[in-house]
Amino acid sequence: MRSQIQTLLGTALDRLVERGRLPETARQIPQVMRSQNPAHGDFSSNLALALAKAARTQPRALAQELLEALPEAPFLEKVEIAGPGFLNFFLTSDAHRVWIPQILAQGPNFGRSQIGAGKRVQVEFVSANPTGPLHVGHGRGAAYGAAVSNLLEAVGFQVHREYYVNDAGRQMDILTTSIWLRYLELCGETLRFPSNGYRGDYVWDIAANLHREHGDAYRQPAETLFAGVPEDAPTEEERDAQGNPLADAPQGDKEAHIDALIGRAKDLLGDHRYRLIFELGLNTILDDIRMDLAQFGVEYDQWFSERSLAERGLIYRAIERLREAGYAYDRAGALWFRASAFGDEKDRVLVRENGQTTYFASDIAYHMDKLERGFDRVIDIWGADHHGYVPRIKAALRALGDDPDRLSVSLVQFAILYRGGERVPMSTRAGEFVTLRQLRQEVGRDAARYFYVMRRAEQHLDFDLDLAKSQSNDNPVYYVQYAHARICSVLRQASDRGLSVEPSEGDQHLDLLREPQEVDLIKCLGRYPEVLEAAALQEEPHQLTHYLRDLANAFHSYYNAHPFLVDDEKLRDGRIKLILATRQVLRNALNLLGVSAPEQM
């Protein structure tokens, strides 16, 4: 509808240009927007204000000329000049009502479009290290990434959802060593668990599995293992309230300590047995993450292994390409990428002094591969703590000769949980973090998915657990779902009374819908395709949650003001059509957000 008005205005503009009233440069796609205020009609345009200077006249006078040059259109009730020179367009009530048969005919497809047709988009999200269960911070990335993917798909893009599995690197070695140490404790060894190890209960569980399967086959005396290992740093428990180490606490370096333990573990276990524990840890945790996300309604097309990059020689190839392009150089025994040549703060290491490639090198190779796979757009959804990482990855893409604008990075801010008005503590200290699974169990999947995307991604999110659980109108999820359930309930009642809920053909009886609440609701339904398009193209699912609130409100107001199951068959038919259409749009929008549309509440 908006584009049709744009076309009309464009024609008027062309006419004025042809008459020499306006210069050639004035030709443009006119800005047409939804009016905020109903007194200003359905749509308005500021075209006359924008061009008044070029026309060397007053905005209102130019608006008058545009108005006279405007072609006739059957869907327009009237066009007014208002304020400083706005053109306000009022649609006929018929123009609004045509949405209802369209919604009923298109069903689940209503609102979808083909704007992105033929374009492939990759969305990479969550990608948490497989070293422990997902926590509530990952949950927001999951809900946001899944919603953005669904939105893009709904407007026609071919979407590829991907999870980057960090199954290489030091964190996995720390996990492997942690599992083995817990296993040794289960064998009866006494040892001091490293401050930098993974201390969660799940590590005990994996170790217990290992012990159940293999008995003491992997046992080594703790004294042998710790012999010659540099001293650890104090753990949290070994510090006082001010964070100062207690008297008997170790005073070493936790990094050197854990690295030495990893080295000892590899030597003592041998390559084969070390790999076995490594794989056991990786697979156990990855399976858990997969299941967790699946239960959260988040599915992926691909789980991309970081290790596969090295196996396919992609890291080597990326480094060679950088070297050939002259952006890699040796210094102090390491290989560096000249990121500073592309606006990054400083140069970055690709290959460490010890010969190992960095995470950054893997990531360059990964992004190189993403672009080579031919996606028109690549979207990375990262936690906000990674924002410093964006310039260097873009710098690398530019150095490789790729177009860095094909990659866009969305940074999702943290979610802060509140319970009883108090902030829920979430220190990274082992055992204290709240997992995504715990959150789902506490508030349910629907509330979690909805709350996570209710705010703009780059905005800090206050997640009120009590509100998410409350079954009242304070809770936006229930408010919207209740609208859906209410419609279902009305239809059930109709059947119980022997009334037909099968709507008549086409636009019959819709002209009877003239109550103000009916008009508001119909207008709201008609906005859905525009809202969906904007939410998708701007990657902002929260626009959809705001719309859903409006739509549910329009429906609840209608419900309170007028009965639907009236004796007059024609009026009843019209009203049932309207609420059927409302139910459809509620379903379509909730579905994109991964929230259910219950028939009963």
Residues 135-164 that bind RNA (CB under 7 A): none
User: Token pair for residue 274?
Assistant: 């070390």
Based on the shown chain and the rule CB under 7 A, indicate whether residue 49 belongs to the binding site for RNA. yes
Total residues interacting with RNA, rule: CB under 7 A: 87
Stretch that binds RNA, among 137-145, 156-164, 309-317, 410-418 (CB under 7 A): 410-418
Q: Per CB under 7 A, which region of 41-49, 65-73, 140-148, 149-157 contacts RNA?
A: 41-49
Question: By C-beta, is 373 or 387 nearer to RNA?
Answer: 387
Alpha-carbon torsion (60, 65, 66, 67), positive or negative: positive
- Cite the DSSP H helix spans in 30-165: 47-55, 59-69, 93-97, 99-106, 136-154
Should residue 247 be labelled a site residue for RNA when binding is judged by CB under 7 A?
no
Looking at beta carbons only, is 184 or 261 nearer to RNA?
Answer: 261
Looking at beta carbons only, is 57 or 102 nearer to RNA?
57
Question: Which residue lies nearer to RNA by CB, 273 or 556?
Answer: 556
Q: Minimum Å distance from CB 565 to RNA?
A: 4
- Radius of gyration (C-alpha) of the chain in whole angstroms: 31
- Judge contact between 448 and 434, C-beta under 8 A: no
**Binder of RNA out of 462, 466, 568, 569 (CB under 7 A):** 462
Which one of 68-76, 140-148, 260-268, 474-482 is the stretch in contact with RNA (CB under 7 A)?
474-482
331 in contact with RNA (CB under 7 A): yes
Contact 26, 14 (CB under 8 A): no
Among 20, 374, 388, 431, the residue binding RNA under the rule CB under 7 A is: 388
Smallest distance, Å, CB 268 to RNA? 22
- The residue (of 39 and 227) whose beta carbon lies closer to RNA is 39
Q: Name every residue whose Cβ is closer than 8 Å to that of residue 599 and which is 6 or more positions away in sequence.
A: 484, 485, 488
Shortest Cβ 59–RNA spacing (Å): 7
Q: Does 563 bind RNA (CB under 7 A)?
A: yes
Site string for RNA, 82-111 (x = CB under 7 A): xxx-x-x-----------------------
Cβ-based nearer residue to RNA, 406 or 549: 549
302-321 residues near RNA, rule: CB under 7 A: 306
Beta carbon of residue 223, minimum distance to RNA (angstroms, whole number): 28
In DSSP terms, 88 is beta-bridged to 44, 80
| Other Cβ atoms within 10 Å of 417 Cβ, number | 20
- Asked if 482 touches RNA (CB under 7 A), the answer is yes
Is residue 161 helix, strand or coil? strand
Residue type, 532: L
Q: Retrieve residue 17's tokens.
A: 């240009």
- Select the residue interacting with RNA from 77, 474, 515, 568 (CB under 7 A): 474
Strands (E), 391-518: 407-412, 415-419, 422-423, 461-464
Q: Give the β-pairing of 377-383 and 120-124.
A: parallel
Distance CA 535, CA 540 (A): 5
Q: Find how far residue 46's CA is from the centre of its chain.
A: 34
CB of 50 to RNA, least distance (A): 5
- The answer to the question of residue 29 lying near RNA (CB under 7 A) is no
Helix orientation angle between 254-295 and 436-443, rounded to the nearest 10 degrees:
40
Q: In one letter, which amino acid is 205? A: D
Please give the Cα distance from 377 to 407 (Å, whole number): 6
Contact letters (x/-) for RNA, 196-215, by CB under 7 A?
A: --------------------
The minimum distance between CB 32 and RNA, in angstroms, equals 10
Task: List the one residue from 501, 565, 571, 580 that touches RNA (CB under 7 A).
Answer: 565
Residue placing its CB nearer to RNA in the complex, 399 or 491: 491
Q: Footprint of RNA on residues 493-552 (CB under 7 A)?
A: 493, 540, 542-543, 546, 549, 552
418: three-class secondary structure by DSSP: strand
Tokens 């668990």 map to which residue? 193
> Cα–Cα distance between 105 and 102 in angstroms, integer?
5
- Closest separation in Å from C-beta 79 to RNA: 11
- From the CB of 474, what's the least distance to RNA, in Å? 4
562 binds RNA (CB under 7 A): yes
CA distance 274 to 251: 29
Q: Which is nearer to RNA, 79 or 184 (CB)?
A: 79
**Strands of the sheet with 302-305, listed across from one edge:** 302-305, 158-165, 120-124, 377-383, 407-412
Q: Cβ 275 to RNA, closest distance in Å?
A: 17
Nearer to RNA, 115 or 222 (CB): 115
Q: Counting contacts by CB under 7 A, is residue 425 touching RNA?
A: no
Q: How many CB atoms lie within 10 A of CB 256?
A: 15
Question: Could you say whether residue 56 binds RNA (CB under 7 A)?
Answer: no
Site residues for RNA, 260-289, by CB under 7 A, read: none
Interface residue with RNA, options 10, 156, 169, 230 (CB under 7 A): 169
Contact 9, 54 (CB under 8 A): no
Subset of 344-363 contacting RNA (CB under 7 A) = 345, 348-349, 352-354, 356, 358-360
Name the nearest CA neighbour of 579 among 463, 514, 501: 501
Place of tokens 């064998």: 187
